[in-house]
Structure 1
Amino acid sequence: MRIYLFWLFVFTTMTSFAQLTPYEKSSNKATATYDEAIAYYQALTAAFPKQAKLLTYGQTDFGKPLHLLVLNKDGVFDSSKIKQVNKRILLINNGIHPGEPEGIDASMMLARDLLKSQKLPKNVAICIIPVYNIDGSFNRTSTSRANQNGPLAYGFRGNSKNYDLNRDFIKTDSKNSKSFQQIFNTWQPEIFVDTHTSNGADYQYTMTLIPTQKDKLNSTLANYLTKTMLPDLYSEMKAKGFELIPYINSVKETPDNGISGFMESPRYSTGYAALHNTIGFMPETHMLKSYDKRVESTYKLLQTYIDIVERDAKIIGENKAKADETIANQKTFSLDWKLNRDKFDEIEFKGYAAKYKPSGVSGLNRLYYDKNEPYTKNIKQWNNFEPSLTIEKPIAYIIPQAWEKVVELLKLNNVKVNELKSDVKLETEMYYITDMKTAQKPFEGHYLHSAVKVEPRVQTINYYKGDYVIYVNQKTNRYIVETLEPQAPDSFFNWNFFDSILGQKEHFSSYIFEDTATDLLKKNPSLKQKLEEEKVKNPELAKSAYAQLEFIYKNSDYFEPTFMRYPIGRLIKDTKLDIK
């Protein structure tokens, strides 16, 4: 009898669960706080324990763990077991910018409705991060987003270290990023959605969309994205009353002059996802539309993703497996891309007339959009990117054990890392940094490098027991190459992981080195000839005694070989290594 009453209670709780979200309780005007969201999910999973589970991963800079809600019709909440039965993983990330909270509220309602209606998909496990930037969600005001129409109060873009977490996926300065990568690489989603709110021009659409840039994505994935998934997303959302448009990245002040695609590098969530052959989306609701419409459009878009992934589960899985295999065997990798400004297409755009009138502040002309003059017309879209820098992968990268953070991040991203079991001398290709630009102001806590030029030199290098060997024959090859090749825009080098190599440690005293330099020129006629040739090419050198000493010094064995030498070696000859 007791068992019967217990299951009657459970059944009654599950079937009657209709708890309103804080958003709904506020008549669709307020967004849930972090504590409200977690409490809601805890109640939801208690009501539906067989199909929903709230997990935690790691820590955040705010001292709280990162939560992950897993919805699975089969009641299995172990990622490896879900993969074994060939289910797809859809990962939804909310609140990376807590002032853009539509996804937080939409996901809470969607999870409830899927469970209550017993309409969880058969072939898809849905993973939801309730609030990613927990830190920023506690910094709650109604003024930090001056251009936004609601909700009543919301979080702040920066986390507790004042990092924009959507710039932190490679450098990983925050604990949030480390915990996110643990989630991502544990669950290995085929499809990833990161919910946002836009800024910028005014227009008629409630929702814009940034998909992974097709030209940088693996071709198998790009073909499915452009020919199947995007057209279906656009048509389904139009049928649901929320017509989509590509993200409005205006080439000039207003969209009338056309828009260009967005090249998301790996610092961004969707750019990071692309390194793992995951198709990513960044939906951006329009900040001037009412909050209830923004949440509704996000809800319907997330539901559409679920429906499409469920429908195409088989082909999505096959595409991901094929892309992983291709990347593992790929020899040439593009590190950077440029927009083809000669190639464009035309898309229908529903905007408002852009006009000018005297400013109430300055008296000068100011831009405004006249909502009394909506229009529909075709505009140009530039969305074709071409590789601007490519490299041939080495057989392996060899990383001295001193660079611990690099290895830690590689391991976090499912890169197979080997260790040398004994000391060895190896002929490896080493890069010397010959030129670069460095930002004059810090960006996200770093003085970023860019436009890096390298000179490869083959050298015999001493490596030691415990140094790391990373073979470039893995499905994670894109992550490996785009972080370890210094010329890549978001390489570890450009994020200042290796700045200590940019400082010279030894030098000379001129009055002493004068005699040494004289002796070097006597014993080395080729060095003397090289100096004379350089003096002809560079008259200023001929006028400076110190500059000539510097030239001799840098072309002698006295000059330190590690200055400006990138410390990660490229193994380019197939060599049998004693590794574990």
Structure 2
Amino acid sequence: MLTTLLLAALLSTGGPGQNKPDLKTPYEQGNGNQTATYEEAIDWYQKLDAAYDEVKMMPYETTDVGRPLHLVVVSTDKDFDPASIHQKNKRILLIQNGIHPGEPEGIDATMLLVRDYLQDKKLRRQLDNVVLAIIPVYNIGGALNRNSHTRTNQNGPESYGFRGNALNLDLNRDFIKMDSDNARTFHEIFREWDPDVFMDNHTSNGADYQHVMTLIATQHNKLHPTLAKYLSGKMVPTLYAGMKQDKFPMVPYMNHAGDTPDEGIIGFMESPRYATGYTTLYNTIGFVPETHMLKPFDQRVKATYKLMENMIETVHRDAKEIGTLRAQAKQETLQQQKFPLDWKLDTTKVSQIPFLGYEAKYKPSEVSGIDRLYYDRKAPYSKMINYYDEFVPTVTVEKPVAYIIPQAWGEVIERLKKDEVQLQQLKKDTTLTLDTYYITDYKTGQRPYEGHYLHSDVQVETRNMPRQFFKGDYVVYLNQPANRFVVEVLEPQATDSYFNWNFFDSILMQKEYFSSYVFEDLAAEYLKKDPALRQRLEERKKQDPGFAKNARAQLDFVYRNTPHYEYTHNMYPVGRLMQDVKLPL
């Protein structure tokens, strides 16, 4: 009797003699329109961990809702050391699910995929060169905020999580600014595991069309050229061919050039606030699959499964090539001298791609009576449409030897440390002559965006000037793997710089002023002693009638050209050391 019970227990937990333990997922137990809850997903992966020695579930640091972020690693040779895995020339594929928990098909598809690869010998062989690292649910707070209504435009599942996390942040806008514990923990995982390829599973909004799956690949103009050539010339075509063979023909993400796809689509230029915009900074090839919101949930799960299957097959096939190209890209990034900071679409370059759509038509709205757009599913079509996917840099910067960051800017230092940026500190007070930016112009959003009033269109003036730095201030040399990350966050003109995300806003407010009746006499003295300043004042009055009638503005003009005006106003505090001088480190 005991022997029978013991055997049954071993069989139920995947012990000796049991190659295929019962690991039916919550999705399979439902009706094809249900997704696993956060608790169900974590419980299921714990069972998977218990059933297979090739699986290890690792809790990392906490998230904004107080639950740890888990990483599940599938390694068929039972090696769970990322450094050792890379030394074996294996590729690490990081799959992230549930960043938007209302878009949950990746959660369910990945559970099915992992189990099938462990239990099917043919599929399992494709993991010889590939280690899977899986974040089962990234936005845990959003996953716990479950409902059936907030994804208004989506066809199932019956209930799902919410887009915002416990801080009501969209985590796919938080990768560079790291306001959430989720993002800070993700950076720890990402930098430790250094994935070669990254997938972040989503569901799209937008137009109606026949495709179940659309795809964002890392914008090739932003990726290192050696990797970009492989991505565009080999990897993406392989994925498209595989998905077509699997009866899920893909199209790029529907970022419309006009009101409908008929007018063409534009490649998605992801800045580092987005997942694949961040991963690009470390020469990781990134993908954001976007299944179509109006397709039934079971079709979306199947399409996500098939894309991950094709991805594994491709990475397995090209494992050595991807490793070689990444190593080359990393080495060249260390030596790279110029870095683009902002981009614009090149509309002169256009290609054509096949598209399976529905005719866009208009009819009177039953709500407003005004003509409204709809897509006629009784009128499907197949045709070529324009695809604009070439971007050119608009702002480029030459990297300094090092950045010097005053220790006062702790929020910035904390984020650099979280990304494992190599930092050194001055051992004594030091005066350095270096390049310093002055912010001469910028725009600021009039409404809050993800907890910030985001700056853009930053203009700077560079001054080479002596600066006083103190013991404990930080030095960041640009000879490290994090080079590109450092440039993107510390150069104020970069789209997602820490200046644009408001971490340096206190420099934008003047602290000292003057009383007009007191400064009048002093200003007159300065103009007597400085004829050139008097001439500039008179020229300004001739050019600007409003200025000529504004006494306070004229006094301020003089004030800003005297030693009384604080030199720190609009002075960006991070210095750029352009020559390699000996520092007290």
Query: What TM-score results when the alignment is normalised by the length of structure 1?
Result: 0.97
User: Residues 7 and 161 (structure 1 numbering): CA distance in 2 closer, same or farther, change over 3 Å?
Assistant: closer
CA contact (8 A) 2:498 2:504 kept: yes
Pairing of 1:39-188 with structure 2 (within 5 A) = 39-48=43-52, 50-118=53-121, 119=124, 121-188=127-194
Question: In the alignment, what sits opposite 2:521?
Answer: 515
Aligned: 1:487 with 2:490? no
Question: In the alignment, what sits opposite 1:30?
Answer: 34
Q: 2: CA distance between counterparts of 1:12 and 1:411?
A: 45
The one of 403, 406, 409 equivalent to 1:403 is: 409
Identity of aligned residues (%): 56
Q: 1: CA distance between counterparts of 2:378 and 2:218?
A: 35
The one of 548, 571, 576 equivalent to 2:577 is: 571
Provide the secondary structure at the position in 2 that maps to 1:462. Answer: strand
How many residues of Structure 1 are paired with residues of Structure 2 in the alignment?
Answer: 577
For 2:363, the aligned partner's letter is K
User: Residues 237 and 10 (structure 1 numbering): CA distance in 2 closer, same or farther, change over 3 Å?
Assistant: closer
Comparing 517-526 and 296-305, the one that deviates more: 517-526
Q: 1: CA distance between counterparts of 2:449 and 2:10?
A: 56
Aligned: 1:11 with 2:15? yes
What are the Cα deviations for residues 238-275 of structure 1, in whole angstroms up to 9, with x where unaligned?
11111111111111111111111110111100101111
For 2:228, the aligned partner's letter is A
CA contact (8 A) 1:396 1:470 kept: yes
CA contact (8 A) 1:194 1:281 kept: yes
CA contact (8 A) 2:14 2:20 kept: no
Pairing of 1:78-477 with structure 2 (within 5 A) = 78-118=81-121, 119=124, 121-477=127-483
Provide the secondary structure at the position in 2 that maps to 1:15. Answer: coil
CA displacement at 1:544 relative to structure 2: 3.1
Q: 2: CA distance between counterparts of 1:396 and 1:540?
A: 44
For 1:443, the aligned partner's letter is Y
What are the Cα deviations for residues 344-388 of structure 1, in whole angstroms up to 9, with x where unaligned?
011111111112222222222222111111111111111111111
Structure 1 spans left out of the alignment, 5+ residues: none
For 1:561, the aligned partner's letter is Y
CA displacement at 1:10 relative to structure 2: 5.7
Superposed CA RMSD in Å reads 1.8
CA displacement at 1:321 relative to structure 2: 0.8
Query: What TM-score results when the alignment is normalised by the length of structure 2?
Result: 0.96
CA contact (8 A) 1:357 1:365 kept: yes
For 2:208, the aligned partner's letter is D
What are the Cα deviations for residues 407-453 of structure 1, in whole angstroms up to 9, with x where unaligned?
22222223211111111100111111111110110011111000000
Q: 2: CA distance between counterparts of 1:109 and 1:444?
A: 34
CA contact (8 A) 1:56 1:67 kept: yes
Q: 2: CA distance between counterparts of 1:468 and 1:535?
A: 44
CA displacement at 1:123 relative to structure 2: 1.5
Comparing 33-42 and 469-478, the one that deviates more: 469-478
CA contact (8 A) 2:14 2:21 kept: no
User: Residues 14 and 406 (structure 1 numbering): CA distance in 2 closer, same or farther, change over 3 Å?
Assistant: farther
CA displacement at 1:539 relative to structure 2: 4.0
Provide the secondary structure at the position in 2 that maps to 1:256. Answer: helix
Provide the secondary structure at the position in 1 that maps to 2:67. Answer: coil
For 1:210, the aligned partner's letter is I
Q: 2: CA distance between counterparts of 1:309 and 1:107?
A: 17
Provide the secondary structure at the position in 2 that maps to 1:387. Answer: strand
CA displacement at 1:15 relative to structure 2: 1.5
CA contact (8 A) 2:402 2:578 kept: yes
For 2:479, the aligned partner's letter is N
Aligned: 1:528 with 2:534? yes
What are the Cα deviations for residues 11-31 of structure 1, in whole angstroms up to 9, with x where unaligned?
347523132100000022100
CA contact (8 A) 1:13 1:47 kept: no
CA displacement at 1:64 relative to structure 2: 0.3
CA displacement at 1:515 relative to structure 2: 2.6
Aligned: 1:20 with 2:27? no
Q: 2: CA distance between counterparts of 1:542 and 1:381?
A: 52
For 2:81, the aligned partner's letter is D
Q: 2: CA distance between counterparts of 1:373 and 1:557?
A: 73
Provide the secondary structure at the position in 2 that maps to 1:388. Answer: strand
